[in-house]
Amino acid sequence: MALWAALTVTIVASVALGYRQYSPAAIWNAIFSFDGSESSVVITTLRLPRALLAPLVGAALGVAGVLTQTLARNRIASPDTLGINGGAALAVVASSVWFGVGSIAGMSMAAISGALATSLLVFGVAASSGGFSPIRIVLVGVTVGGLGYSIVQIILTTNEAQLKELLFWLTGSFADRRIAFALGGAPVVLAGLSVAWMLAQPLDALQADDTTAANLGVPLAVVRWAGFLTISLLTGASVCMAGPVGFVGFVVPHVARRFVGLNHRRLIVTSALIGAIYATAADILARFIIYPAEAPVGAITSTVGGVVLLVLLKRRAA
């Protein structure tokens, strides 16, 4: 209940706070008694879409992070460190620049396809090099992710007309996004969260090793394929809606485990809620950290994620 209350507060704060502050009464009137005033237009066309996008993206990336870390058996794995965010971003940029894809459905399909192709490539290369070694998976993922972002930079450098439009999006942002992105992405995110919930029990067994999981009756190939697809749905939808918002899928599972432990049924729900709160709070902070200008939310989450990663690596080395 505390997390649900915190999420409600952050969503209301997201609508209320910014360059101009709005009272709860003004928000209520704008949503339910729209009168065409400046405040009503700002609230309904600018504030409300990002207040819906942020928790959707945060929940998607939080749960995607749980699945990634379990499948990789590595607590520093995430859609970012495995290059999945980068693969989804590359697919969106390439489809937009080369094929003129601009519809929400087209961008969503490109992002999901790019995320799935990247996840299969990373796990496939790692497996062919001697099994699902946790360290090898991350090394391959970092390499593939770096390659993906390098190709994105090449594409944008040779297409200056779309450079400014896509550059801010590539840092991860909820600003200036139409509510249609939230409405279009919500069904994909809900589908991904539902599949993740159904995978909870086999994922509990998969935390050990393949032999133990197989002896417990877990169909390893089916669970992995379903896991890859779910990660791709969640990551692809989030990239389509807001660009690659960095390290949410890395930080959130670590926080969630401190609340509920390793049971995936509780972990998935808790990660979704914490991810939604975290992304929304980061979006609010992004509006004030360089006020009156606005920072990309991806810069905020990547900074926090980088610090957490350094702390974890230091603890492992100790």
Residue 164 has pLDDT above 70, yes or no: no
Residue 300 has pLDDT above 60, yes or no: yes
Residue of 127 and 24 predicted with greater confidence: 24
User: Which of these ranges, 123-137, 158-172, 178-192, has the smallest mean pLDDT?
Assistant: 158-172
Predicted local distance difference test score (pLDDT) of residue 74:
86
User: Which of these ranges, 15-24, 166-175, 249-258, 297-306, has the smallest mean pLDDT?
Assistant: 166-175
Predicted local distance difference test score (pLDDT) of residue 163:
66
Mean pLDDT of 25-35: 87
Q: Report the mean per-residue pLDDT for the chain.
A: 88
Banded pLDDT at 312 (limits 50, 70, 90):
confident
Predicted local distance difference test score (pLDDT) of residue 275:
97
Predicted local distance difference test score (pLDDT) of residue 316:
66
Residue 109 has pLDDT above 80, yes or no: yes
Residue 173 has pLDDT above 80, yes or no: yes
Predicted local distance difference test score (pLDDT) of residue 162:
66
Domains and CATH numbers, the chain: 2-317 (1.10.3470.10)
Predicted local distance difference test score (pLDDT) of residue 81:
87
Cβ atoms within 10 A of the Cβ of 67, count?
29
Which of the listed ranges 62-71, 123-132, 150-159, 287-296 does the model predict with the highest average pLDDT? 62-71
